[in-house]
Amino acid sequence: MNSIVTFPNRIPVTDFEERRFKVYTDRQLDKIEAIQTLPEDTLFEMKVVASVLPFRVNEYVINELINWDKVPDDPIYQLVFPQRGMLKDEHFERMARLHREGADKQTIQAAAREIREALNPHPAGQMAMNIPELDGEKLNGLQHKYRETVLFFPAQGQTCHSYCTFCFRWAQFVGDKELKMASTEAEKLHRYLREHTEVTDLLVTGGDPMVMKTHNLVQYLEPLLAPEYDHIQTIRIGTKALTFWPYRFVTDNDADELIELLTRLVDAGKHVAIMAHYNHWQEMSTDIAEEAIRRIRATGAEIRAQGPLIRHVNDHPEAWARLWKKQVQLGIIPYYMFVERDTGAKNYFEVPLARAYEIYREAMKQVSGLGRTARGPSMSAGPGKVEVQGITEIHGEKVFVLRFLQGRNPDWVQRPFFAKYSETATWLHELEPAFGEDKFFFEDEYEQMRKGNG
C-alpha cells in the first residue's frame, strides 16, 4: 500500500520511487533492448531516418507506454521511433546508400543538411516574420506573432525528454545552429515585456521548458510578479513532460521546487496554464502520469491539452473521444486538435482536411459538453490559426467553412470564409477560394506583411 508524504507546499504526494532518467539517441539504437528482436531491415531503416530527423527516447516511454505486442502499429511506438515512410523515397534511398557504402560522418551530415532544407524546417514564417526587435536588434529566442502573446524559447529548454516523430519544431533538435531559436537573456525578455503592455500572455516553449532545472525557470518567471508586469496576466508553459517524463513533477530532485514555483505564481494572481501536448490516451495510462497531473492541479494551475491529428497515431474518432473523456476525468481542459503542419515528415503523418473534420465531428459526438472545448481541426498557418468549422453546400457548391481563431491582423479573427471542397487538401495553401473568388479575403494584406519582413 502506498504511503502519503506531506511536502512543505502542503500538497500530498503518493510515495513514488525516484527514477533515474535514461535516454537513447540515434547513436544508441543498438543499446535499446526492446527493438533488438525487430527485423534487421527495420533497424536499418531506423538508422537511416534517424540520421536526418531527430531521435530521442527514454526508458519510461519504452517500458511503460509502448505496447510491444502491437508494434509497429502501437501509437506511442509510431510517436517516437523512426519509420521508413517518414522520408520521401528519394531522400531515404540517398541516405541508405551512404550508410551501406560506409560513408564518413561528414558526408552523411552534409547529405542530411541538404535533405532537411527540402523539408520546410521553419514553417508559417516563424523565422522571417515572428521575431521581434528591441532597439533595432532582433531578439532571437522570442516570437511575437499575435498581439497578445509572446513566445519565449529558453536556451536551457531546447531539448525534450523524448522527441515526437511528427514535431513541427524538429529543426531545433538536429544540431544545426542556423536552425535554432533560443535565448538565455532574461533581461531582454523582461524589458521587451515591460515595453509591450499589449501583451497579456507569455508562453514559455521549446523544445520543452520542463527539461530545465527549476532555478532556471525561476529566473525567467519570478520577476514577472513585480508591478511593472501586471499586464502579463497569463503564464503558459508548453510541455510534453506529462507524457514523456511525469517524474519531473513528482520525484525529480527539484520537483517540489517546481510545484512551489507554480503555487507562488498562482497565489500572486497570475493565471498559470500548463499547455500539455497529448496525442493518445495511452499517454495517461500510468499511475505516475496521473499523480503528476494531480500535483499540478493542486497548485491552482490549470492544464490545457493540445495535439495534432496524425496518421498512424490517432487518425480515428475513437482515439480522440477516449482521449478527451480521460482528460476531462482527470481535470484537464481539451483545448486544440491541430492539423499536422507542412514540415518535416508531413507526408507520413498528414490527414486530408475533409477526413480531419470528419474525425473531429465523430469524436465530438461521443463526448459530453465538458469535452467539447477542443477547437479544431486547426491549421497554424502563416496568416494565423485557421479552423475548419464545417463542410456544407451553398448554392450547389460544396465548400469548407473556415474561420480564423487567431490572426496576424486581429480583425481577421472569427471572420468566416469559404474554400472549395477538396478530398485531398491537407493545408491552407492547397485550398482555393469558393464561389469564383480569386483570393481569400486576407491574402493581399498578408502578402504585404510578408514583403515587409522580407
The CA-CA-CA angle for residues 205, 206, 212, to 5°, reads 90
Where helices occur in 222-278 by DSSP H, the ranges are 241-244, 255-267
DSSP string, 124-154: GGTTTTS--EETTEE-TTEEEEETTEEEE-B
The CA-CA-CA angle for residues 359, 360, 366, to 5°, reads 95
Which H/E stretch holds residue 418?
strand 416-420
Q: 387 is written with which cell numbers?
A: 479552423
pLDDT at position 8, please? Answer: 43
Q: Kindly report the CATH number that applies to the domain delimited by 120-300.
A: 3.20.20.70
Q: 197 is written with which cell numbers?
A: 503592455
Q: Can you tell me which residue has the cell 513541427?
A: 168
Q: Cα–Cα distance between 95 and 225 in angstroms, integer?
A: 51
Q: What are the boundaries of each domain within the chain? A: 20-117, 120-300, 337-454
Q: Cα–Cα distance between 425 and 422 in angstroms, integer?
A: 6
DSSP string, 69-130: GGTTT-HHHHHHS--GGGS-HHHHHHHHHHHHTT--HHHHHHHHHHHHHTT-SSGGGTTTTS
Nearest to 261 by CA among 210, 304, 306, 227: 210
Residue-averaged pLDDT of the chain: 93
Strands 133-134, 137-138: pairing is: antiparallel
Largest CA distance in the chain: 68
pLDDT in 10s for each residue of the chain, 454 residues: 343 444 444 455 558 989 999 999 999 999 999 999 999 999 999 999 999 999 999 999 999 999 999 999 999 999 999 999 999 999 999 999 999 999 999 999 999 999 999 998 877 565 668 899 988 899 989 999 999 999 999 989 989 999 999 998 888 887 655 545 556 689 999 999 999 999 999 999 999 999 999 999 999 999 999 999 999 999 999 999 999 999 999 999 999 999 999 999 999 999 999 999 999 999 999 999 999 999 999 999 999 999 999 999 999 999 999 999 999 999 999 999 999 988 899 999 999 999 999 999 999 999 999 999 999 999 999 999 999 999 999 999 999 999 999 999 999 999 999 999 999 999 999 999 999 999 999 999 999 999 886 5
* Residue 414 C-alpha from the chain's centroid: 24
Q: What is the pLDDT of residues 370-426, one digit of tens each?
A: 999 999 999 999 999 999 999 999 999 999 999 999 999 999 999 999 999 999 999
Q: Cα–Cα distance between 54 and 36 in angstroms, integer?
A: 20
pLDDT at position 280, please? Answer: 98
Q: What is the pLDDT of residues 319-346, one digit of tens each?
A: 999 999 999 999 999 999 999 988 899 9
How many residues in total does the chain contain?
Answer: 454
Range 5-44 burial, b when 16+ CB lie within 10 A, else e:
eeeebebebeebeebeeebbebeebeebeebeebeeebbe
Q: What is the pTM of this model?
A: 0.92
Q: What is the pLDDT of residues 108-130, one digit of tens each?
A: 999 999 999 999 887 756 566 88
